[in-house]
Structure 1
Amino acid sequence: MDKYEKVKKIGEGSFGKAILVKSKEDGRQYVIKEIGISAMPSKERQESRKEVAVLANMSHPNIVQYKESFEEGGCLYIVMDYCEGGDLFKKINSQKGVLFSEEQILDWFVQICLALKHVHDRKILHRDIKSQNIFLTKAGTVQLGDFGIARVLNSTVELARTCIGTPYYLSPEICENKPYNNKSDIWALGCVLYEMCTLKHAFEAGNMKNLVLKIIRGSYPPVSVHYSQELRSLLALLFKRSPRERPSVSSILDKPFLACRIERFLTPQVKHTVVLQTELFALTRL
């Protein structure tokens, strides 16, 4: 930690602490995740190190950039870029009930999908997609962050059973304690899209039991007709109760009203880099 000067603590969760720091080398601000590993069994400790290796390979304009990691005093420290624009959750709350334009929603949504496609193409589940884990840079670029509980799948048929995530974003299959795959990320993506359209959670209840019932039924208040039929139909697809019926992130991006926006966010140079990374990643899996 000698290279960094602590500015303030900006978050705390099951993973540990998030600290805003300033680099003594380049003067830039970064976020450091501090994860206590001394009490972890050695297998879990190894898993944490694997997660860091996954993060180190996640280079994409719409994913929060990893800088470095190190271990010190029984803690694992992960250094990430700092997004000055805050998170999407705060942005939604700051609207004070004034709805976002469809143009703005679709621009943000496409960038989230591009990030998620990069993740899913690598057989990785994010498993904690929520508006608090989607960040905005000073320039307004959307970046997906917090892969703290992401997990590399050994093969496309391996399914994760762990029930993790913020209750509002849990999919029906998780609520029913069934195996799930990347389609649970798609459900959570639907929850984020719904929040951007309504400034509210799709599924809300006074207690966990009622919340789970609402999620399993897939019942949510309709989105305003102020938004296009295409957008509302997409939301209905993301909220299909059966994971098999939900679209993949690639097929979402293939929809003409979204596909036409991709060029704005992926320059030819970035596209070429992303393709190369995908090919290299595929080779390392052979």
Structure 2
Amino acid sequence: MSERLTRDYHIGEEIGRGRFGAVYRCYSRDTGEVFAVKSVDKTYLNDAEDRDCAEREAKVTQIAAAGNPNVVQIHAAYEDESSTHLVMDLCDGGDLFDRIAAGEGAPMGEEDAAAVMAAMMEALWICHRRGVAHRDVKPDNVLFDGEGRLRLADFGSAECFGEEGTAMRGVVGTPCYVAPEVVAGRDYGEKVDVWSAGIVMYIMLGGIPPFYGETVEEIFDAVLRGNLRFPTRVFGGISPAAKDLMRRMICKDVSRRFSAEQVLRHPWITSGGSATCVANLT
């Protein structure tokens, strides 16, 4: 561990592990406040893309997180010869993947799902206004703090797209959640996050992903076809308003796909998941 890090913080037990390193509970030696520290082992950064991912996370997270209550905040950053260390908010309430898995495939109620979607889309709306696209929205990256507040995390794949309409490139993200324009290798914008968030909503309400396969190639083929269905056996009890919002988010035509701001204005969101129709939607 960095000498400066251990001077400022007492490092506790490991609470998580990822591709490049581990996350530990830590305590401020000045205030006793509890945080998490994400330590990335540089020896795991095998290529330029991995190194760029690790270096970008602190910078982009600080842009996205400032004054954004639903994004994990970075409080300090340290670096030594072997590792980088980011001191962040402690989110010990688990992640959205855990909450979905706890239902053992049973759908989440619409009101609970709407609360998650409202907080997540609020976080993304602020990110997009600041020119940041997350590019890896999925249940594993949606955390909850000790008070139950949603915190969007892991900006290692994020990109700053600057002026509105500036295109990004590169196949990043997780196969089941990635947007078709990413898979196709085309230029794309921040609406890739809206597609991914729509997939998260579909899984919360249905317990299954809309596009799947035995291999990454099969999943990508399904994503490119974009044949969105709502099987009656799974979605028979889901409101037309919820299905309408998912269609507008999981929309292959990017020009017709909702923005994060439009999602927040949809009746299903504004009603807290209680809207049953969208007759007044313009």
Q: In 1, distance between residues paired with 2:48 and 2:201?
A: 39
Distance change in 2, residues 1:47/1:236 (3 Å): closer
Spell out, residue by residue over 1:106-156, the C-alpha distance to the aligned partner (whole angstroms, 9 max, x if none).
011100010001100001110110000001122221111111121212322
Q: In 1, distance between residues paired with 2:48 and 2:222?
A: 39
Show the counterpart of 1:217.
225
Aligned length, in residue pairs: 260
Q: In 2, distance between residues paired with 1:193 and 1:53?
A: 28
Q: CA deviation at 1:244?
A: 1.6
Show the counterpart of 2:142.
134
> Match of 1:174, SS?
helix
The runs of 5 or more residues in structure 2 that have no matched partner are: 273-282
Q: In 2, distance between residues paired with 1:193 and 1:30?
A: 29
- Sequence identity (%): 25
The runs of 5 or more residues in structure 1 that have no matched partner are: 262-286
The amino acid that maps onto 2:26 is: K
Show the counterpart of 1:33.
38
Distance change in 2, residues 1:43/1:209 (3 Å): closer
The amino acid that maps onto 1:33 is: K
Q: In 2, distance between residues paired with 1:181 and 1:242?
A: 12
Show the counterpart of 2:58.
52
Q: Does residue 1:158 correspond to 2:169, yes or no?
A: no
> Match of 1:154, SS?
coil
Q: CA deviation at 1:254?
A: 1.5
Show the counterpart of 1:186.
194
If the length of structure 2 is used for normalisation, what is the TM-score?
A: 0.83
Q: In 2, distance between residues paired with 1:136 and 1:42?
A: 32
Q: CA deviation at 1:50?
A: 5.4
Contact 2:131 2:160 in 1 (8 A): yes
Show the counterpart of 1:231.
242
RMSD of the alignment, in Å?
2.5
Show the counterpart of 2:280.
none
Contact 1:7 1:20 in 2 (8 A): yes
Q: In 2, distance between residues paired with 1:65 and 1:152?
A: 17
If the length of structure 1 is used for normalisation, what is the TM-score?
A: 0.82
Q: In 1, distance between residues paired with 2:196 and 2:170?
A: 15
Contact 1:112 1:144 in 2 (8 A): yes
Runs of 4+ in 1 over 3 A off after TM superposition: 26-29, 36-51
